[in-house]
Structure 1
């Protein structure tokens, strides 16, 4: 048994040496190796070998992006207003050696630098400006931290302000200001709406008036054109009638027929005027009626032949007697539907009564 002890011991030493020599570095990681207390190398992800008892893994760094919450702090603005500000930093280790030997604690260093830079930038601005310039503040802090982080082997990717909280009194004043501004905008918007409404109503009334006037204009034009056409038509018809009458008058018996027609119309109009209303209209000279009707009878005697057996009762033996148009006058009550009725005084009738003759 004593003969196998030494080989077994040597084998155990070799196995332990191999185990201590082999190192497997994870992805997105960097390990710093020191040999006899001094920096020796940086192990990349994968399988690596070191010398046992001489080399050791001094630092292990993650190369991933790291979010770091910056503690809330009180900052004073340019107009002496206190603000409670907190934020968050996103950084990444890019040089494992500098991250190991550039600073004792790069996380603490970058956090403290972010706070001091934030206080400095807030102090340059007034309260209202800080709320409007958050992006500008973030960019300034990132630029400052990135410049300092090069010596620490880190790169600052971005910085974000999470909250800006003024004191309670300032918050109430700001809320009152916001409320007043919103009420002002509401009043302005309401007045603008009313103004626009009045403009729309006035514009509508204007358009309606224009359309109405245009319609009235077109209607007047149409009426005028219609009246012109009617006048033209009447004038044409009158001219044609006059032409026909003129031709008839120049023909044989035309003048006598015209006299008869005029007398007929005169008597008809005279009778109609007498029977309408309560006002009695009497011609100034009743002999004109007798003259016209007498002429008409002359024409009638010439144009009509007396009935058989009544030659001794010809119309030439009858005398027309004009009678005034007062109540009881036969001329004021003509029989309707049988034509115009003339009354003649026949001496052979009993009492020289009136003998009606229809035309």
Structure 2
């Protein structure tokens, strides 16, 4: 046998053993499993479910155990693509949304359904179509919460067997046809104009009421002021009359007191005579008329005709 052939055979055998050793080394390295946080590894032994590996370090049996599924336990979002739905009043609208789900049972999520994400998306679409079919077009924009709650309810029931929990479902867009959209815009504009006219009329009404209330208050204030002025004037006149009466009473009392004194009566008669004569001086020639007694020398008789009594 040729020496070169022997060397070639040895090299081939060494290469085979090297490849086998490398394969075994790779398998042993693959048997070392490091599971990150919020993840779950589903391990099968000889094709049968064995255990679920949680976060941490794990060692598997090479050639016997293998990681069949890796489940992410964090909450994730799934976009629901746009779909056409018919409302109760036969209007075709396009609806899309987003689902927020989380794996709570990694075994059911791995073996209970082939693809829970696709299944949740399909179920959300069919449920959305069925709910919108019971609502009029106007209500579909107002009752988003009802649609979302119904989708979450249906997905939660199905998710029990799928090992998932649906936290919420949000509708992103509800797009009606262009003609319906234009009609809705016209309706909205008309409603806005109606509200503007109503607000303007209410404002004008409130303004008129405020002005009338102001005029009413002004007239009441003026009348109350006039009434108070008259009351004050009357009270002033009453005080004036009372003061004059008091002064007159005081003067009469003083005169009476003076008359009762010795010589007081004669002094009063003399003063009255002087006042009469002074008044006579102020009269004009035409109006001055004096009745004289027959005997001008009898002064006392003359004063008596004037109503002035003198002591005889």
TM-score (norm 1): 0.70
1:14 to 1:123, Cα distance in 2 relative to 1, 3 A? closer
Within 2, Cα distance between the matches of 1:267 and 1:232? 34
Aligned pair count reads 278
Q: Which residue of structure 2 lines up, in the alignment, with residue 33 of structure 1?
A: 43
Matched, 1:149 2:159: yes
Within 1, Cα distance between the matches of 2:221 and 2:289? 61
Select between 121-130 and 37-46 the one with higher mean Cα deviation.
37-46
Q: Which residue of structure 1 lines up, in the alignment, with residue 94 of structure 2?
A: 84
Deviation string, structure 1 residues 62-82 (Cα, Å, up to 9, x no partner): 111110000001111001111
Higher RCO by CA contacts (8 Å cutoff, separation 6 or greater): 2
| Unaligned residue ranges in structure 2 (runs of 5+) | 1-9, 301-312
Within 2, Cα distance between the matches of 1:224 and 1:98? 103
Pick from 237, 247, 251: which aligns with 1:237?
247
* TM-superposed deviation, 1:12: 7.3
Deviation string, structure 1 residues 25-84 (Cα, Å, up to 9, x no partner): 111111122222222222222111222112222111111111000000111100111111
Deviation string, structure 1 residues 229-286 (Cα, Å, up to 9, x no partner): 2122223333444455564695325323312212312432x35xx9xxxxxxx43xx4
| Unaligned residue ranges in structure 1 (runs of 5+) | 275-281, 300-359
Within 2, Cα distance between the matches of 1:73 and 1:242? 116
Pick from 43, 63, 70: which aligns with 1:60?
70
Q: Which residue of structure 1 lines up, in the alignment, with residue 173 of structure 2?
A: 163
Partner-residue secondary structure (3-state), 2:202:
helix
CA-based RMSD of the aligned residues comes to 2.9
Q: Which residue of structure 2 lines up, in the alignment, with residue 265 of structure 1?
A: 279
* TM-superposed deviation, 1:23: 1.2
Within 2, Cα distance between the matches of 1:57 and 1:254? 147
Deviation string, structure 1 residues 305-326 (Cα, Å, up to 9, x no partner): xxxxxxxxxxxxxxxxxxxxxx
Within 1, Cα distance between the matches of 2:184 and 2:22? 77
Matched, 1:254 2:268: yes
Pick from 69, 73, 82: which aligns with 2:79?
69
Q: How does 1:36-47 map to 2 (within 5 A)?
A: 36-47=46-57
1:259 to 1:61, Cα distance in 2 relative to 1, 3 A? same
1:212 to 1:20, Cα distance in 2 relative to 1, 3 A? closer
Matched, 1:217 2:263: no
Q: How does 1:289-300 map to 2 (within 5 A)?
A: 291=292
Within 1, Cα distance between the matches of 2:220 and 2:22? 114
Partner-residue secondary structure (3-state), 1:80:
coil
Q: How does 1:188-337 map to 2 (within 5 A)?
A: 188-244=198-254, 247=258, 250-268=264-282, 270-271=283-284, 282-283=286-287, 286-288=288-290, 291=292
